[in-house]
């Protein structure tokens, strides 16, 4: 293996792609460096359920051959990635972090997996998820706890904690994720990376193990907003195998100048700016001031029923997840981790009327968000009210979903991105929320903020 600059482990996809396209960087060398790093560091973080080193080398060699022959496919060609272990991968086990599926090997790829493979991405393996995506800690009864690269005593968030930890630790450049109550954006916040939850219907969920079908979203965890945009363009699109998907062109990223004059950002003060930990509050205030410096007009907006939305989302999630798991819960209940089993048994106590009323209220809740967004370009909130807690702090782990479940319920595009650090050195992320299928504006505004700050360039000292 050619010795590469160790800083490449924390490079962005967009930077690496330019070097690969110009034949200045070998996909094989880049992949071998990633595999060496995984070999050295995975025991500390427990990111991987399954490693696919041999496959990765074969794919890297194929990518390099194609590129050298002038068949460059685009920015993911030759880039090492990981998939959340909810994503079906043909011939590679897909466990959902559970003993129940410990030996399950799909015979087809999820749509997103197939799209990224077609784009030339190199698969390093399957990353940890909280069991069946039903938790915020990514601590598996069967596979053990995944740990936060910034502090091994803290959780990486959930449920896409393995993907977030892989990107934060410089083990991979993209991690796929799924988001039902915040499971992309929360790990992004806990690990200080970028998490993109697109609009409901933008990206196919076909071949991704369900948690709650009317709330599930597929998206990405990356090191920059540009990378999130590149990945979304590849992952998105109509899929006849997922009837919720829409036939719209990829969103791209709206181009602004280096300033944001004329942009209006709404602050939904009710709920989102209450009961914040002091470090999060300080980082958000600094982010708001940075936007003002960039020419943004900051406007306070109100979403009257926002405090009811998380409960409604939970009633829907519990009802749908129970339907998915009823057979296993009846036949092998002891194979679940205690927290997930308790969640499912509690779901059985939720009256059907509560589920139906929550579904009925969704449009009214969505209309409140859309009314707020009619006055501004995007909404700005903290991604979480606190930084990554320790695994034994159950109450704080539950608090992590305070600001994310609302846009799974309403289906609105939401971006979690770095905006600061706590006094203990843990990342803080903000959240940008946009109109339906207007990821371009969300990403464009996030990108200008990123250009004018350096939070996304910081990484754990490993």
- Give the span between the Cα atoms of 158 and 187, in whole angstroms: 5
Q: Any catalytic annotation for residue 422? A: no
Q: How far is the C-alpha of 332 from the C-alpha of 142, rounded, in Å?
A: 14
The whole-angstrom separation of Cα 435 and Cα 266 is 12
Q: What are 272's two structure tokens?
A: 């989102």
Q: In the numeric block, which tokens belong to residue 316? A: 């829907």
CA distance 111 to 420: 35
Options 9, 98, 140, 159, the catalytic residue: 159
Contact 116, 81 (CB under 8 A): yes
Determine how many CB atoms are found less than 10 A away from the CB of residue 250. Answer: 15
61 a catalytic residue: no
d(CA 14, CA 382): 26
Q: Is the dihedral of CA 450, 454, 460, 462 positive or negative?
A: positive
> 80 in helix, strand or coil?
strand
Spatial separation of the C-alpha atoms in residues 227 and 223, rounded to whole Å: 7
Task: Answer positive or negative: Cα dihedral of 432, 455, 445, 440.
Answer: negative
User: Among the options 139, 160, 183, 416, which is catalytic?
Assistant: 183
**How many C-beta atoms lie closer than 10 Å to residue 96's C-beta?**
25
* Cβ burial 137-148 (10 Å sphere, 16+ → b, else e): bbbbbbbebbbb
159 is catalytic: yes
> Which residues on neighbouring strands pair with residue 82, listed in sequence order?
125, 175
Burial class (CB in 10 A: 0-12, 13-18, 19+), 197: buried
Q: Is 6 exposed, middle or buried (0-12, 13-18, 19+ CB in 10 A)?
A: exposed
Q: Give the C-alpha separation, 83 to 290, whole Å.
A: 34
Residue partners of 38: CB distance under 8 A and separation at least 6 = 47, 48, 51, 124, 125, 171
Residues catalogued as catalytic? 84, 159, 183
């Amino acid at each position: 293996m050619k010795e590469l600059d160790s800083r490449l482990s924390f490079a962005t996809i967009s930077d690496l792609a330019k070097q690969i396209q110009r034949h200045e960087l070998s996909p094989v060398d880049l992949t071998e460096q990633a595999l060496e790093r995984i070999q050295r560091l995975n025991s500390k973080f427990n990111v991987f359920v399954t490693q696919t080193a041999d496959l990765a080398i074969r794919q890297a060699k194929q990518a390099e051959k194609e590129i050298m022959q002038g068949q460059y496919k685009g920015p993911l060609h030759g880039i090492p990635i990981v998939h959340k272990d909810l994503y079906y991968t043909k011939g590679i086990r897909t466990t959902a972090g559970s003993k129940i599926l410990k030996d399950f090997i799909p015979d087809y790829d999820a749509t997103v997996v197939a799209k990224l493979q077609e784009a030339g991405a190199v698969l390093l393996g399957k990353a940890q998820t909280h069991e069946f995506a039903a938790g915020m800690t990514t601590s598996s009864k069967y596979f053990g706890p995944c740990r936060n690269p910034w502090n091994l005593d803290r959780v990486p968030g959930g449920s896409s904690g393995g993907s977030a930890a892989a990107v934060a630790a410089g083990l991979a450049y993209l991690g796929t994720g799924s988001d039902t109550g915040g499971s992309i954006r929360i790990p992004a916040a806990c690990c200080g990376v970028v998490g993109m939850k697109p609009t409901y219907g933008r990206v196919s969920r076909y071949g991704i193990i369900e948690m709650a079908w009317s709330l599930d979203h597929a998206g990405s965890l990356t090191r920059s907003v540009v990378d999130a945009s590149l990945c979304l363009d590849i992952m998105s699109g109509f899929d006849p195998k997922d009837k919720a998907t829409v036939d719209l062109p990829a969103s791209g990223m709206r181009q602004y100048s280096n300033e944001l004059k004329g942009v209006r950002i709404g602050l939904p003060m009710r709920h989102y700016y209450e009961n914040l930990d002091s470090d999060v509050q300080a980082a958000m205030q600094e982010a708001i001031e940075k936007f003002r410096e960039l020419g943004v007009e900051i406007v306070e907006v109100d979403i009257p029923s926002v405090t009811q939305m998380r409960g409604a989302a939970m009633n829907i999630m519990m009802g749908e997840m129970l339907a998915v798991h009823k057979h296993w819960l009846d036949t092998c209940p002891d194979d679940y981790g205690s927290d997930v089993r308790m969640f499912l048994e509690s779901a059985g106590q939720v009256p059907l009327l509560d589920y139906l009323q929550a579904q009925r209220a969704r449009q009214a809740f969505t209309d409140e968000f859309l009314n707020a967004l009619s006055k501004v370009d995007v909404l700005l909130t903290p991604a979480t009210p606190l930084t990554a807690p320790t695994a034994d702090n159950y109450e704080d782990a539950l608090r992590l979903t305070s600001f994310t479940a609302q846009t799974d319920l309403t289906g609105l595009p939401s971006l979690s991105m770095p905006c600061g650090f706590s006094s203990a050195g843990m990342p803080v992320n903000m959240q940008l929320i946009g109109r339906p299928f207007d990821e371009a504006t969300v990403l464009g505004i996030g990108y200008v903020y990123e250009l004018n700050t350096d939070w996304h360039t910081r990484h754990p000292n490993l």
